[in-house]
Amino acid sequence: MNASSSAPAPRDGARAECIRVMVVDDSVVIRGLLSRWVEADPALQLVASHRNGKLAVDDIERSNPDVVVLDIEMPEMDGLTALPLMLRKKRDLVVVMASTLTRRNAEVSLRALSLGAHDYVPKPESTSEVTTSIDFRRELIDKVKALGQRRRGGGASAGGRMMRAQTTAGRTASQAPAGAMPAGYARLAAGAAAVPAAPAIRTRAYSSARPRILAIGSSTGGPQALQQLFTDIGTSIREVPVVLTQHMPPTFTAILAEHIAKAALRPAKEADNGEVLKPGHIYVAPGGLHMTVDKDGGQVVARLNDSPPVNFCKPAVDPLFDSVAKIYGSATLAVVLTGMGHDGAAGVRTIAAGGGSIIAQDEATSVVWGMPGAAAQTGMCCEILPITRIGPKISGLLSGGPR
């Protein structure tokens, strides 16, 4: 073993049930800190740490990690170069990118997601901030555990296993055309296990009203899902505004909007406070601010506010869904995509109470079936669909097609 890496001796017991983690960062301080955080969690096992991408790539087969926490800027081989080489050696490897909040790093992180990384964690600007940031530590460890459990098959709920078995109309996500998916989704769909059917999650009928707005909530795995969704929707949103909350920090949301605009071939941007919502335009909640909608002189406008986090998130989905339901009622169409936690579930109930329609992404194509799973478990969704079927369904609903 070289001086840049370390593989601690296994802790008591077989450790076979633990999620195996590799940390890759050129800073010896950060690398040591992240490694200690991993070792301190009984659900995780640190199997290696490296100072650059080349050493990590060379060690993948020996260390056999379930999850790699991968820095972007490193000497000899950076994270973006190392990523596809790692995935070539271990197809089902979960990679979480870690980078500071610069525009370049945000661009690279989103590029990494399209190449097969599962998620990213924004690092504080300075080493001292990293060492003292409770939020950064919590987010990193929570994501490593959630994504690691998903990779090992331990994150499936009974409802999620049911959805894999009986995706609507008998067509499972593993039968969807993988060529149309971003890299991470192709692997998820191809690997979706066949399982026995379970009692169905309760659903409700779609609203008879034609949608006048599309509201979307997403988190972990969201950028990949949104790319697929907006590519499939295309110009069918030209008659309604789209409002979107993706759990992301500042800088990232502006770049996400640019990527969405390219996928949808429609205008997309971070929303401005008081901005009138226009049909065919996509409004993204800026990182660090909640976005809601409101009436102003007969027009619907976006509202931004700096109130406390909701469900530990800012922006959060629930405030957006609640506000949309109050204005659009039964003409609301909402979608809950892949993500950790349960943000959006309360808003789903509000939308359903107002007569609106909700679609949730299924577990087999979700990076983490937390948010859509929580939405599905309310019994208020109209359908739970694989990502490749959500866009076409939205297009049909917006055009007044069959429910």
Q: What is the pLDDT along the chain (403 residues), one digit of tens a residue?
A: 444 555 554 444 446 689 999 999 999 999 999 999 999 999 999 999 999 999 999 999 999 999 999 999 999 999 999 999 999 999 999 999 998 878 888 899 999 998 999 999 988 877 777 777 788 899 999 999 999 987 666 544 433 433 333 333 333 333 333 334 444 444 444 444 333 334 578 999 999 999 999 999 999 999 999 999 999 998 899 999 999 999 999 889 999 999 999 999 999 999 999 999 999 999 999 999 999 999 999 999 999 999 999 999 999 999 999 999 999 999 999 999 999 999 999 999 999 999 999 999 999 999 999 999 999 999 999 999 999 999 999 999 998 876 6
Domain membership flag for residue 3 = no
CATH number at residue 105: 3.40.50.2300
Residue of 168, 153, 155, 95 lying closest to 361 (CA atoms): 168
Domain membership flag for residue 255 = yes
Are 127 and 225 in a shared domain?
A: no
Are 345 and 206 in a shared domain?
A: yes
Tell me the pairing of strands 290-296 and 299-305. antiparallel
Cβ proximity of 130 and 30 under 8 Å: yes
Q: How far apart are the C-alpha atoms of 321 and 115, rounded to whole Å?
A: 31
Sequence-distant (6+) residues with CB within 8 A of 154 are none
Are 141 and 187 in a shared domain?
A: no
Are 324 and 378 in a shared domain?
A: yes
CATH number at residue 359: 3.40.50.180
Tokens of 335: 């979608």
Chain centroid to CA 366: 8
Q: Show which of 98, 118, 152 is a domain's final residue.
A: 152
Q: How far apart are the C-alpha atoms of 70 and 144, rounded to whole Å?
A: 12
Alpha helices by DSSP H, 270-386: 317-328, 345-353, 371-377
Are 193 and 342 in a shared domain?
A: yes
Q: Cα dist. 29→25, 136, 228, 373 in Å?
A: 9, 15, 38, 38
Active site members: 219, 247, 343
What domain count does the chain have?
Answer: 2
H, E, C per residue of 374-386: HHHHCCCCCEEEC
Q: 230: domain range?
A: 175-398
Are 219 and 344 in a shared domain?
A: yes
Domain membership flag for residue 85 = yes
Are 38 and 185 in a shared domain?
A: no
Are 235 and 344 in a shared domain?
A: yes
Are 316 and 379 in a shared domain?
A: yes
Q: Show which of 152, 183, 213 is a domain's final residue.
A: 152
SS3 18: coil
Q: What is the pLDDT of residue 328?
A: 98
- Residue 67, strand partner residues: 21, 94
Are 185 and 143 in a shared domain?
A: no
Sequence-distant (6+) residues with CB within 8 A of 170 are none
Domain membership flag for residue 164 = no
Domain membership flag for residue 9 = no
Question: Angle of helix 79-89 relative to helix 103-115, nearest 10 degrees?
Answer: 10
Strand 332-336's sheet: what is its strand order? 268-270, 282-284, 242-246, 213-218, 332-336, 357-361, 383-385
Domain membership flag for residue 200 = yes
- Count CB atoms within 10 A of the CB of residue 361: 32
Sequence-distant (6+) residues with CB within 8 A of 162 are 197, 198, 199, 200, 201
Are 42 and 79 in a shared domain?
A: yes
Q: Cis omega before residue 315 (within 30°)? A: yes
Domain membership flag for residue 7 = no
SS3 34: helix
Q: How far apart are the C-alpha atoms of 366 and 376, rounded to whole Å?
A: 13
Domain membership flag for residue 160 = no
Q: Show which of 99, 121, 152 is a domain's final residue.
A: 152
Are 210 and 135 in a shared domain?
A: no
Amino acid sitting at position 391? G
